[in-house]
């Protein structure tokens, strides 16, 4: 248990560090031209997301191989990387400068069309129709699961409709809320878990743990949103005058406002603070994340393995780390940008 807590804390530190580095490059590196546009839309996050998705695809290909599927990994891996990077390149104007071409979703649709045509060509070129449905289906699961779904993390960070580096902080807040479900599920399940949730899929998960995950994400979302919204409110002393917090307090408050402020717009209602949108956000991404966790477990159970890999002791492989964000981040993107337009 202590080892899992330590690894979980280190994972959060790594994610936070990557986001901060990404923002620093975007805001302080004096580069002009198209390269400057690209760096302003992100750098660390898109590249790391593409590498992680590629490593996950390699792991998934290995799992498919254990079940007898024959997936053309090179083609699928290439499409995964292209899908993940396309929102970054599109937002920077590298794929066209018209308004429609700056939108990552256009190019994600284009690459999916190319993946469909390409997968058909690959199967035909094999000259052997045996297992076509299973093999093509596996290839498409890989492209959609690790390419398309993970591209929404880059879409949230890099979208040209989100001002400045707000997308990086929105992505960080979303990841923290998603991972709060893992923390809540683990501790509640370990403490009071009795009823098995789906023993054939994941023997250790319990109904109580699932509820703990929902509550953990809801609490995290409301907490981050409340802090972010509160930091943008003026400090009022007993005299009634609005003042700025002095010295270190001002710098600390400013840092928190920068990080949590974009997510805090969820709680900024017309009549003051409201925690209903953050509550809905937390419950939604937690539910999606827990489904993603179980979905990845289905791959492992069919392949007859406990972990997708051995990248991190006690945690497993890359797929074991991104199983919940893979399904939860697209939900976060939809709620933040389409439903509430916090950018």
* pTM, full prediction: 0.91
More confident residue, 48 or 255: 48
Q: Assess whether pLDDT exceeds 70 at residue 248.
A: no
124-180 tens-digit pLDDT: 888 878 888 888 888 999 999 999 999 999 999 999 889 889 999 999 999 999 999
Domain ranges of the chain: 1-30+162-343, 31-161
* DSSP string of 167-181, one letter each residue: HHHHHHHHHHHHHHH
Dist. CA 286–CA 219, nearest whole Å: 11
Q: Assess whether pLDDT exceeds 80 at residue 244.
A: no
> In this structure, how many other beta carbons lie within 10 angstroms of the beta carbon of residue 198?
14
337: left (phi over 0), alpha (psi -120 to 50) or beta: alpha
pLDDT at 164: 86
pLDDT at 70: 76
Where are the extended beta strands (E) located within the chain? 196-198, 202-206, 235-236, 242-243, 268-269, 272-273
pLDDT at 329: 97
Measured at the CA of 60, the angle between CA 113 and CA 7, to 5 degrees, comes to 120
Closest listed residue to residue 319, CA positions, set 303, 339, 331: 303
Torsion, Cα of 143, 144, 150, 154 (10° steps) = 90
pLDDT at 252: 58
Average pLDDT of span 229-253: 53
Considering Cα of 93, then 96, then 100, then 105, what sign does the dihedral take? negative
pLDDT at 123: 82
Average pLDDT of span 270-289: 92
Which residues lie below 8 Å from residue 147, measured CB to CB, with a gap of 6+?
53, 57, 79, 80, 81, 82, 83, 84, 111, 115
Across 13-17, 33-37, 203-207, 268-272, least confident range: 268-272
pLDDT at 272: 74
Task: DSSP letter for 266, please.
Answer: G
């Amino acid at each position: 248990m202590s080892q899992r807590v330590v690894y979980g804390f280190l994972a959060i530190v790594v994610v936070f560090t990557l986001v901060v580095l990404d923002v620093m490059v975007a805001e302080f590196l004096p580069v002009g031209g198209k390269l400057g546009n690209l760096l302003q839309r992100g750098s660390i996050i898109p590249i790391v997301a593409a590498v992680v998705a590629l490593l996950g695809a390699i792991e998934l290909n290995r799992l498919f191989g254990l079940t007898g599927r024959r997936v053309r990994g090179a083609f699928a891996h290439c499409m995964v990387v292209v899908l993940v990077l396309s929102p970054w390149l599109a937002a920077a104007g590298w794929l066209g400068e018209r308004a429609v071409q700056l939108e990552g979703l256009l190019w994600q649709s284009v690459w999916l069309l190319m993946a469909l045509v390409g997968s058909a060509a690959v199967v035909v070129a094999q000259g052997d129709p045996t297992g076509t449905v299973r093999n093509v289906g596996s290839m498409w699961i890989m492209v959609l699961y690790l390419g398309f779904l993970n591209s929404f993390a880059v879409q949230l960070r890099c979208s040209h409709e989100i001002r400045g580096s707000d997308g990086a902080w929105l992505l960080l807040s979303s990841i923290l809320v998603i991972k709060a479900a893992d923390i809540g599920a683990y501790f509640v399940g370990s403490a009071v878990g009795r009823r098995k949730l789906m023993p054939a899929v994941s023997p250790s998960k319990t109904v109580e743990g699932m509820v703990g995950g929902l509550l953990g994400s809801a609490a995290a979302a409301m907490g981050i949103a409340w802090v972010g919204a509160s930091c943008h409110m003026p400090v009022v002393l007993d005299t009634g005058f609005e003042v700025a917090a002095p010295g270190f307090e001002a710098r600390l408050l400013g840092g928190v406002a920068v990080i949590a402020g974009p997510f805090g717009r969820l709680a900024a209602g017309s009549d003051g603070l409201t925690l209903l949108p953050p509550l809905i956000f937390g419950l939604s991404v937690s539910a999606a994340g827990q489904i993603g966790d179980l979905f990845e477990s289905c791959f492992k159970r069919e392949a007859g393995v406990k972990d997708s890999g051995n990248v991190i002791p006690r945690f497993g492989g890359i797929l074991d780390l991104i199983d919940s964000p893979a399904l939860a981040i697209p939900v976060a993107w939809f709620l933040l940008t389409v439903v509430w337009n916090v950018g």
